[in-house]
């Protein structure tokens, strides 16, 4: 499973997590004495700065799109994946058909398959109800911090790894819920000059920028933009789906070329 954990897979989050975790790997004597749960809790704290504003904006935009409070809370609880929640909102605003909204928003979440695979060697032997909970809480942050910490602490038992994982989500999950509710409450009072329609594009671009770490990522993003614009005439948001599939293939192809080029050296 070496290839899954290799740094190039995942966004800068991974690099950040690594820097953050190894930052105090040097005072190992103090970390080994700590309970894994609280270690996870502490590791996750800086991510509150990203999670809380993102969730707040989700609440604001969701209220603006016309979801009521119950629907906003329900979406944050059932989906619990920021980028795909925003994708769904955007397509709902464009009145795309239900199936297109769901498929496109799920496509954003496909990266979670990789995370699920990467965590399986560590947490896949937990009892089944715990694996259900672990799966439910699988997000960028739980994945990135856990994979780094588990490699850092190979002697950890399954209960210790599980405790760490739940420690990471412990501050983030309530923050996500509370901030999205606050956003929904305050969202309707936001004046028009704030141009909140543009919060979603800025949010997404801020997510995408740090992701463009290789030629393959840039190629995928480029194909995605070019085809989405060229196919904007296609009905019901299907142009975006076509663009996304082509972009994934472009990314994979460029990666393959680069690998071969390196192999020939």
Partner 1 sequence: MTDTQIWIIIAALGIGTFLIRYSFLGLVGSRPMPPIILRHLRYAAVAVLPGLVAPLVLWPEATGGQADPARILAACATLLVGLWTRNFLAAMGAGAAVLYGVIGINALVG
Of the candidates 21, 16, 58, which has an alpha carbon nearest to the alpha carbon of residue 185?
58
List C-alpha distances in Å: 239 to 227, 230, 243: 8, 8, 6
- The runs of H, that is alpha helices, within the chain are 2-5, 12-23, 28-33, 36-44, 48-65, 69-78, 82-93, 98-108, 111-123, 128-136, 140-152, 158-187, 199-208, 215-230, 238-264
Site for partner 1 in 138-177 (CB under 8 A): 138
- Cα distance between residue 191 and residue 199, in whole Å: 13
Kindly state the DSSP code that residue 94 receives in the 8-state scheme: T
Window of 28-36, 149-157, 178-186, 248-256 that interacts with partner 1 by CB under 8 A: 248-256
What count of residues does the chain have?
265
CB nearer to partner 1: pick between 31 and 107: 107
Binding to partner 1 (CB under 8 A) within 182-201 occurs at: 193, 195, 197-198, 200-201
Q: Which is nearer to partner 1, 147 or 244 (CB)?
A: 244
Please name the residue ranges forming H helices in 188-235: 199-208, 215-230
Stretch that binds partner 1, among 36-44, 156-164, 179-187, 220-228 (CB under 8 A): 220-228
Give whichever of 31 and 93 is closer to partner 1, judged by the CB atom.
93
Residue closer to partner 1 (CB basis): 79 or 182:
79
Residues 113-142: x where in contact with partner 1 by CB under 8 A, - otherwise, as a string: xxxxx-xxx-xx---x--xx-xxx-x----
Task: Give me the least distance between CB of 136 and partner 1, in Å please.
Answer: 6
| Interaction mask 57-96, partner 1, x per CB under 8 A | --------xxx---x--xx-xxxxx-xx--xx-x-x--x-
**Nearer residue to partner 1 within complex by CB, 32 or 135:** 135
Task: Quote the least distance from Cβ 110 to partner 1, whole Å.
Answer: 4
Q: How far is the CB of 65 from partner 1 (least distance, A)?
A: 8
Residue 47: CB atoms within 10 Å? 23
Say how far apart CA 141 and CA 179 lie, in whole Å. 17
- Shortest distance, position 70 Cβ to partner 1, whole Å: 10
Between residues 39 and 105, which has the closer beta carbon with respect to partner 1?
105
């Amino acid at each position: 499973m070496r290839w899954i954990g290799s740094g190039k897979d995942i966004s800068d989050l991974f690099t950040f997590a690594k820097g953050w975790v190894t930052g105090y790997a040097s005072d190992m004597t103090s970390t080994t004495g700590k309970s894994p749960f609280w270690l996870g809790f502490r590791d996750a704290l800086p991510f509150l700065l990203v999670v809380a504003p993102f969730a707040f904006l989700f609440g604001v935009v969701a209220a603006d799109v016309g979801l009521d409070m119950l629907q906003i809370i329900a979406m944050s609880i059932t989906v619990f994946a920021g980028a795909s929640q925003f994708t769904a909102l955007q397509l709902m605003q464009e009145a795309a058909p239900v199936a297109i909204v769901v498929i496109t928003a799920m496509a954003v979440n496909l990266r979670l398959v990789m995370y699920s695979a990467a965590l399986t060697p560590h947490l896949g032997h937990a009892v089944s109800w715990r694996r259900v909970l672990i799966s439910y809480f699988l997000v960028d942050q739980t994945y990135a911090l856990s994979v780094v910490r588990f490699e850092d602490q190979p002697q950890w038992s399954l209960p210790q790894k599980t405790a760490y994982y739940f420690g990471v989500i412990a501050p983030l999950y309530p923050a996500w819920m509370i901030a999205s509710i606050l956003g929904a409450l305050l969202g309707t009072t936001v004046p028009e000059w704030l141009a909140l329609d543009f919060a979603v594009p800025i949010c997404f671009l801020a997510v995408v920028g740090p992701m463009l770490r290789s030629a393959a990522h840039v190629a995928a993003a480029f194909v995605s933009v070019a085809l989405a614009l060229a196919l904007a005439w296609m009905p019901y948001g299907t142009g975006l789906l076509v663009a996304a599939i082509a972009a994934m293939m472009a990314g994979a192809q460029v990666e393959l070329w680069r690998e071969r080029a390196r192999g020939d050296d």
